[in-house]
């Protein structure tokens, strides 16, 4: 029951995102559209950006402090990856805030443009990393794309100001950097890995976030640089009534960022996480428009955008546990009874087998356990008591997986009996296992059906990492992740 609740907590993260993204997007539009009392018209996005950034770089460390997560700041297990991801997030934060401030571009249209590009990155990243994508994720992705098309095809004006187009490019570039980094290092079951990644990425981000616009303000002569210079200097004295609402924009971003990041870091495929994030933020954007239309006479969105909103809601329903009801109905129509009725009680046990039980099979067991799969390992000809090699330890750390305390041991008949499935690293090991334990014949198979996973002993660290990543990809492909 606890594991099930942990698995579904991503929906609480989506709720948190909606609660904080709504005032964030609404304030960004209200400030620059002159809708707030005592805040003058004419403020532009790049002018308010420094003050909004101040709110974010203060809020994020405060959240980490309140959660007691500073202990995850060190050690940094993948510094290059964290640095790239932090740079990507800095680009995302700045460009998202500016996107809602362009005149003639509504909140909903800005969301459609940003989320349309973002949705594409999900299946591409999953394909690159060999992650399994389930039917309801594909269905939700398709509905989300259809929702975007409905609004975009109904638009009367397809022109996009140059600055808005460049800002959109910066936003998508941020995700091109960030999404593969998160997938490579942190999309695992272990909450410690998730928290470590969030904290370390945040540290990089709060350094780069003010630094990038500061460099742009000092080095350029165009309208963007001039607006940024005003934002760093005269904005604070010329527009004192705007300071609090603009800083609050950054505060709300800092609050919603933790929920958005935790959605992305959920261990399920990006094709699940990205539509969930997009759907939640889309609903938040529409809520912001509804509030501004009701109280500040902002023009209401057209019917096409209302239809898109309804389609996004249906995509979220597909991603929710409701898809199990569809599976049950399909099974009933096919005369198979309810989904899962034939599944035996109790958790499955997966046994990984190699020769010495110091490299491949213990790495495979550690990778599987990190994904929430109960796994053990054993060797066909081990030196009993030998420790896992230091290179295997380091390779697991490269994957952001905590290396277990491990001593080599031979495969036992008790393990064979208890195992639901047995995966060997090579075909010859599979044959030898069946020769020694004929009862394993129905359970044993090669982890990678396309070929043997080579023994990295005697080779360099790069080979260990390559083998570990191949094992991780095959474990992810082999096993269905837990139900939503």
Domain boundaries, the chain: 2-331, 350-478
| Residues contacting 55, CB < 8 A, separation 6+ | 246, 247, 248, 249, 250, 251, 252, 253, 254
Q: What are phi and psi of 358, to 5 degrees?
A: -125, -10
The pLDDT value recorded for residue 246 is 96
| Other residues' Cβ atoms within 10 Å of the Cβ of residue 222 | 9
CB 75 within 8 A of CB 115: no
User: Which pTM was predicted?
Assistant: 0.68
Of the candidate CATH numbers 3.40.50.2300, 3.90.1170.50, 3.30.70.2740, 3.10.300.10, the domain formed by 350-478 belongs to 3.40.50.2300
Residue 90's closest CA among 203, 194, 180?
A: 203
The pLDDT value recorded for residue 338 is 39
DSSP 481: P
The pLDDT value recorded for residue 189 is 66
The pLDDT value recorded for residue 321 is 66
CB 247 within 8 A of CB 55: yes
Please, what are the averages of pLDDT over each run of 10 residues along the chain (484 residues)?
55 94 94 86 90 97 97 88 96 93 79 81 82 76 81 64 85 94 81 90 97 92 90 94 96 96 88 88 87 80 76 79 61 46 54 95 94 91 90 89 89 92 94 92 88 89 91 83 39
């Amino acid at each position: 029951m606890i594991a099930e609740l942990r698995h579904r907590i991503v929906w609480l993260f989506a709720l948190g995102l909606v609660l904080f993204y709504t005032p964030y997007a609404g304030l960004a539009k209200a400030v620059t559209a002159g809708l707030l009392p005592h805040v003058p018209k004419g403020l532009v996005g790049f002018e308010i950006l420094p003050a909004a950034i101040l709110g974010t770089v203060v809020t994020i460390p405060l959240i980490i402090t309140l959660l007691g997560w500073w202990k995850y700041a060190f050690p940094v297990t993948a510094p290059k990856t964290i640095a790239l991801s932090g740079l990507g997030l800095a680009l995302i934060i700045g460009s998202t805030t500016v996107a809602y401030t362009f005149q003639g571009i509504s909140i909903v249209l800005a969301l459609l443009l940003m989320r349309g590009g973002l949705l594409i990155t999900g299946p591409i990243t999953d394909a690159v990393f060999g992650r399994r994508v389930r039917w309801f994720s594909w269905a939700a992705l398709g509905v989300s794309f259809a929702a975007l098309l409905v609004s975009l095809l109904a638009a009367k004006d397809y022109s996009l100001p140059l600055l808005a187009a460049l800002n959109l490019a910066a936003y998508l570039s941020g995700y091109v950097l960030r999404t593969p980094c998160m997938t490579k290092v942190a999309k695992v079951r272990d909450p410690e890995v998730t928290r470590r990644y969030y904290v370390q990425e945040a540290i990089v981000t709060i350094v780069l976030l003010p630094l990038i616009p500061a460099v742009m303000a000092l080095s350029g002569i165009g309208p963007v640089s001039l607006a940024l210079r005003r934002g760093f200097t005269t904005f604070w004295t010329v527009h004192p009534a705007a300071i609090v609402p603009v800083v609050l924009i950054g505060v709300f971003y800092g609050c919603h960022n933790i929920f958005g990041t935790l959605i992305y870091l959920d261990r399920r495929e990006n094709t699940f996480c990205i539509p969930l994030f997009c759907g939640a933020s889309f609903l938040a954007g529409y809520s912001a428009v509804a509030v501004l239309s009701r109280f500040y006479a902002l023009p209401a969105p057209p019917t096409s955008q209302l239809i898109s909103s309804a389609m996004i809601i249906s995509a979220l329903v597909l991603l929710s546990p409701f898809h199990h009801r569809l599976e049950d109905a399909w099974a009933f129509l096919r005369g198979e009874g309810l989904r899962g009725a034939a599944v035996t009680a109790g958790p499955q046990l997966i046994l990984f087998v190699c020769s010495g039980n110091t490299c491949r099979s213990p790495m495979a067991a550690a990778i599987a356990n990190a994904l929430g799969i109960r796994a053990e390992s054993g060797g066909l000809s081990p030196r009993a008591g030998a420790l896992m090699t230091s290179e295997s330890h380091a390779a697991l750390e490269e994957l952001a997986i905590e290396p277990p305390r491990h001593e080599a041991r031979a495969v036992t008949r008790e393990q064979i009996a208890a195992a639901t499935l047995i995966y060997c690293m090579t075909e010859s090991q599979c044959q030898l296992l069946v020769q020694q334990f004929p009862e394993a014949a129905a359970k044993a198979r090669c982890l990678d059906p396309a070929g043997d996973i080579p023994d990295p002993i005697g080779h360099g660290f790069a080979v260990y990492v390559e083998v570990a990543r191949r094992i991780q990809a095959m474990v992810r492909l082999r096993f269905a992740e837990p139900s939503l």
